[in-house]
Structure 1
Amino acid sequence: MRAVDIIIKKRDKGVLTREEIDFFVEGFTRGDIPDYQAAAFAMAVMLNGMNAEETTYLTLAMARSGEVLDLTGVVDFVVDKHSTGGVGDKTTLVVEPAVATCGLPVGKMSGRGLGFTGGTLDKLESIPGYRTDLSTEEFIQQLKEIGLVLTGQSKDLSPADGKLYALRDVTGTVPSIPLIASSVMSKKIAGGAHAIVLDVKVGLGAFMETLESARELSRLMVDIGRLSGRKVVALLSDMNQPLGQAVGNALELKEAIDTLHGGGPEDFREHCLVVASHMLKVGGKAASLEEARQMVERVIAEGKAWEKFRQLVAAQGGDVSYVDHPEKLPAAPVVYPVLAQHSGYLAQVHARMVGETAVVLGAGRSKKEDPIDHGVGIIVHVKVGDRVEKGQPLFTVHARTEADARMAEARLLDALTWSEHSVSPLPLFYGVIE
């Protein structure tokens, strides 16, 4: 078997066998197949696609390229959640402690932000001492002891995905739906998840900008789950405008803390309740979504989900005083209000433009090696459909300098589209695929 023959077969729209895909992934992982052939393979997949079986073979081959955690002897059942990335999406910080408190263990390996989307690890690293580099042994031990882990991906898990993603990033093949699906699912399977709830973002602030492409990706990931013996549910959620109000690491952490105390913005709180309910149902802890929702509402109202979050922070070396007293978290020296220059209805709060403005302020990365400023960011005071009066606060910018704040103001005003007539609010979700 030769790598070039596999590339040619996919170039000519052939269907690859399990043996061919295994051969290619194993050779690429070992270094026997060079980057230029892997790049050609990725482009052939980008242009000609893969069916569900091919994509499942690719997923499992990438999962097996490194360590595959077997958590059956540690806990009975593990559910993971994955978001495809968005602006203001701090859902993991609320959902995972709530679900774990309800008796369903959550072992999650999260990522960092790149581009306009934020990363869970960057938010958690606003807390001094919080470790995101747990070893496999530490991961398993903590899951056994407290039923909750939030750490970075081990280098031993799905190394083929790491190698292939680095190539996709520089060869124009990131948007390939089979490559996205196999990348996401290989890491979840390698991480030991028995069931997975996917939060697939749709819209201006998402990698899937259309409902059609989001549905296609979701169906493929659900098919991979079925074919690989995992339960998978995909939620199609809106990302045309930021989720909640806070965009930026410490600001988002504060909003998550507020939500765990029973507060938080209405849209963000509702989003968390829906995602957590699906996790409990797919994990067998609740017979219905209604029962699951009641469980989540109860553990938040009773303060138990908050206590589980504190337990998580302490277990991973974080200074709990910073979450007990969020005013101690990193803060920007300049707090600058952006006011409405006229009255009207908001027709658009462009999520990507808000996210990109937060990156320019220092809250995110343009390149992987860029440092993060945990204190800067944006508070978004308005939603699509709101009636706004002249002089009303639209945003609050948290910046290092006055010049940065004024730059952000100009960009944020450009992110808004106005209407003289009333505008319908955006839905939180567009559907469920299971």
Structure 2
Amino acid sequence: MVARINSGKSIKGALNYNEQKVVQGKAQFLMAENYPVAQESLTYEQKLQVLKQQAALNERVVTNCVHISLNFETNEKILPAVLNSIVLDYVTQIGFAEQPFLVYRHLDAAHPHVHIVATNIQSDGKRISLHNLGRERSEPAREQIELRYGLIRARGRGNDQQEQQELAALQPGAVTRTSYGKEETKRAITQIVTLALQKYNVTSLPELNAVLNQFGVTADRGHEESNTYRNGGLLYCMIDEQGKPVGVPIKASKLYDMPTLKRLEKKFERNKGYRKPLKARLSAQIDRVFRRYTQITKQTLISELKKQNIHLVFRENKDGLIYGLTYVDHLNRSVFNGSDLGKEYSAKAVLERLAGKDRKIESGREWNQREGFTLKAGTQHFLKVPVPGQIVHALLDQQEPDIAPTVSRKRRKKKGEQEQSINL
């Protein structure tokens, strides 16, 4: 799904654009939300007046019209009820749920798409800021909606390679020790933190650090007796491959977008509602690895998951004892502690399944270029007919007449009946 947001000064112009499409048979009026009249009986004048009266509550705001289009992939078949749900979900996430707005489904392109006409002036006269609305609200909403409704991801085809390149460029080695300094460190940390928060569904500071640590950054609250901790502060600093701080720590309030602890906690809370589909996918990927082995070592488990773009972190205490696991799913941009996925994915359960050497489950089938999957030579198929025994021979030797089964003759349909069934 791709969302395009346009803001302007003419509510009438945006409304006329959609209404003319309806007259031409190129669009359908879908819904009107927060209107005092039922949408079935709404006239053109009523649609316009409600939006204009709301916008008039703050005449100092010149740009008071918002015109959004939600565009879906050409081969996506979306039921009307699902489409309505997607629109309401999107509008809620960008902060327009309480605003009067109109929705039209356009039919003049190969891909399904809808248009939303609204005003950013609220009922108390305050305006909804349109600055960075696309980056800060629309983009996170789009990504969550794609996952929730199983839509084709806008970033899934053309931009995946670009995203991987962006993230790869931010590996710990990308900023060398010799280049550490206040400006260089601040710039590098800003890039990494911004990308991590935009692309990964994290619900706690440890989960965020599980992502940041892989790119040479950590978010630190300080020790419990420090002023930083007591005041709810947060510091970001670069770390080396051993996880030790290097360079100059930067206050969260000094970074772009100010990723302070207070702001992060709000984002963590929002992300919790979107974890269910991500949780199911990650669990299935981990299960596939374990199904390939009767015995598996720690290193093999890590490497097998890495092939699926999953980074497994073994959390250890100061004494080197493992007390938890964290799964960082780079493909689906999610982070889960093992216990959040289920008991079988927790540190205790996984450690009990690890062995000193690998024992892979051998498949009895192999790939043949011509015939597809076939049995390997010397492999006995579990459906292979066994060699007949004495009892089988005795049964086969019995001479009994073959009795043909009776087959009921179907009544032939009359000509009228045949034509009726064809019409149905």
Q: Please state which band the TM-score falls in when normalised by the shorter chain.
A: under 0.3
Higher radius of gyration, 1 or 2 = 2
TM normalised by structure 1 equals: 0.25
As a proportion of its length, which structure holds more helix?
1
TM normalised by structure 2 equals: 0.25
